[in-house]
Amino acid sequence: MITDLLLRVALAGFLGGLIGLERQLRAKEAGLRTHILVGIGSALFMIVSKYGFADILNESHVGLDPSRIAAQVVSGMGFLGAGTIIIQKQVVKGLTTAAGLWVTAAIGLVIGSGLYEIGIYGALMTLVVLEVFRQLGNHLLGHHHSMLIRLLPESVPGVLVTLQKLRLKPGYLSVVQHENDSEVCEMTMELTLRPKQEISDVYAQVQQISGVRFIDIR
């Protein structure tokens, strides 16, 4: 029995780590270690919920609901998931990572309850959604990037003209003075590239504009 419980904890951490590895490779807010800990913690909570009170169940006046601790994991994950969501310049980021943490907690609960096949299947399906569907969405719908450019103020129109030639319409565009250099301004925007359009081409075109000092694309 003890060996089986130890296996559940290790397997939950391993499956959570697979999801976290994909997130870390994408440089997301919650990575490998976070997902491993969520998987292990969820499995431990489920094990405690199912088996942790066996010593007092024989008491005549004691009645326990084995699902109560596990149920709190679902609501508790909302706080951890909220920490990965960032609202920056009216753009919400981190929702997929938050959902991944939520699913990792579910996988940990399933493995902790002993439903190995369901937990492994859930982890594989999660990886398919995160990786395969991401590539499919980029291929069919285009992909999003955030761009920050440090440049001279007179170069701003040149950037906009270049983006127009590339048939890109910047979203949430802002131009502010650089905090350490009064002669340079910072231009930030969100770009949605068309399918098969490469961000490297956009970078090369913008870099050729006179007065552009620095470009950061994420």
Residues 100-111: tens digit of each pLDDT? 888 999 999 999
Instruction: Name the band, by pLDDT with cuts 50, 70 and 90, for residue 218.
Output: confident
Q: How confident is the model over 26-62, as pLDDT tens digits?
A: 767 678 888 898 999 999 988 888 887 766 766 767 6
Q: What gap in Å lies between CA 54 and CA 51, rounded to an integer?
A: 6
Quote the number of domains for the chain: 2
Q: Is residue 16 pLDDT above 60, yes or no?
A: yes
Give CA separation, 52 vs 38, 67, 69, 118, in Å: 19, 12, 11, 23
Structural domain that includes position 67: 2-140
* Whether residues 123 and 209 fall in one domain: no
Q: What gap in Å lies between CA 87 and CA 102, rounded to an integer?
A: 19
Q: State which amino acid sits at residue 156.
A: V
How far is C-alpha 84 from the chain's CA centre?
Answer: 7
Question: Can you tell me which residue has the tokens 């920056």?
Answer: 88
* Whether residues 67 and 15 fall in one domain: yes
Q: What gap in Å lies between CA 122 and CA 118, rounded to an integer?
A: 6
* Whether residues 31 and 91 fall in one domain: yes
Q: What is the pTM of this model?
A: 0.67
* Whether residues 58 and 135 fall in one domain: yes
Q: Is residue 204 pLDDT above 70, yes or no?
A: yes
